[in-house]
Amino acid sequence: MYNGIGLQTAHGSSTNGYTQSNKFFVKPKKNTVLTGNSGEQSITDVSRKPNKDILEHDRKRQIELKLVVLEDKLVDQGYSDEEIAENLKEARRPLEVSEDQPPQQ
């Protein structure tokens, strides 16, 4: 047994009792920042900015999800394929326009 990990005895366990460390564990990175005039370094957790591509992809997924839900409702109500396509086209325009513009303050 090593640091509370592993078997107390290998007898009857069908193993040799050897414990290995996890080679794939990645420790979180710490960023060092200079503080003040003293030049000391302190370790802080600096938050990263969100990736714009990922945010854009998520926004598009939300739009498509709303349109799929609308399409299911229209199919259940018995609309024809042409009517559904037209309604989806009309519903897509305000969703894409409102999402592209930043909120006004």
Delimit the domains of the chain by residue range.
Answer: 52-100
Task: Using only the alpha carbons of the chain, give its radius of gyration.
Answer: 28
Helix (H, G, I), strand (E, B) or coil at 97: helix
| pLDDT digit string, tens, across residues 4-36 | 666 676 666 767 767 777 888 887 776 655 555
pTM tops 0.75, yes or no: no
Say which residue the tokens 């302190």 belong to: 42
The span from the CA of 72 to the CA of 77, in Å, is 9
Please write the tens of the pLDDT for every residue from 75-103. Answer: 999 999 999 999 999 999 998 886 555 55
Structure tokens belonging to residue 84: 């559904």
Whether the predicted pLDDT of 38 surpasses 60: no
pLDDT at 105 (0 to 100): 45
Distance of CA 67 to the CA centre of its chain: 22
Q: Choose between 74 and 45: higher pLDDT.
A: 74
